[in-house]
Amino acid sequence: MTGLPVYPLESSRAIGSIIEVGPTSAKANLPFAADTTGRWHHGDRLGLGEVGEFVVIEGTGVAVFGRLINVRLPERERLTVEAGLGRRQESHPVGTIQLLTTVTLDTGAVAGGIAHYPRLGGAVYTASPEFIGWLAEAAQRLDDAAPSVTLRVAKFRAPDMGVRIYATPGA
């Protein structure tokens, strides 16, 4: 398995931290999710907590890849996002992340599930398009040999970014 194309836990892509972990999902504080717009980082738009956004959660020697499937405000804060006389109140959005796979940071090995669960307080980062594309390709490779032929099979569209996916034909 080849190494990672980009380091997935880049501090400038941090969007929150883990507050609850279950067998298939985790919950995270997403302090920027109530902002009316995302942010741009090196030409990539960061949703900062939008439903459908792919994320990476830090672990001990691993990165857990997941997808944000729900974002909400605590009931007592639901009116804080209402515009009122030009001032904005503080809110504390919480998101649910579906846990998809685990990547070992030193080798780039991709597990077929969750090999290590995130810990409480673990940082959550928005996944880069390069990492998402690499992960999709790495998951279908069975050995370390570089593929001699690759076919572009899809262009996956996450919010405001295009990720090209390539596959190696089977023998």
Is 162 part of any domain?
no
Contacts of 45 (CB under 8 A, 6+ apart): 38, 39, 159, 160, 161
Q: How far apart are alpha carbons 59 and 113 in whole angstroms?
A: 14
pLDDT score recorded for residue 97: 96
Is 166 part of any domain?
no
Q: Is the per-residue pLDDT at 140 higher than 90?
A: no
Counting every residue written for the chain, the total comes to 171
pLDDT score recorded for residue 5: 80
Q: State the DSSP H helix or E strand holding residue 161, giving kind and residue range, or none if neither.
A: strand 161-167
Q: Is the per-residue pLDDT at 129 higher than 70?
A: yes
Mean pLDDT of the chain: 79
Two tokens at 117?
């669960």
The whole model's pTM is what? 0.74
Is 142 part of any domain?
no
Question: What range does the domain containing 125 cover?
Answer: 11-133
CATH no. for residue 32?
2.40.30
Two tokens at 162?
């295009």
Is 115 part of any domain?
yes
**Number of domains, the chain:** 1
Is 147 part of any domain?
no
Q: Is the per-residue pLDDT at 92 higher than 50?
A: yes
User: Rounded to whole angstroms, what are the CA distances from 12 to 59, 100, 128?
Assistant: 17, 23, 11
Taking residues 1-15, what's their average pLDDT? 81
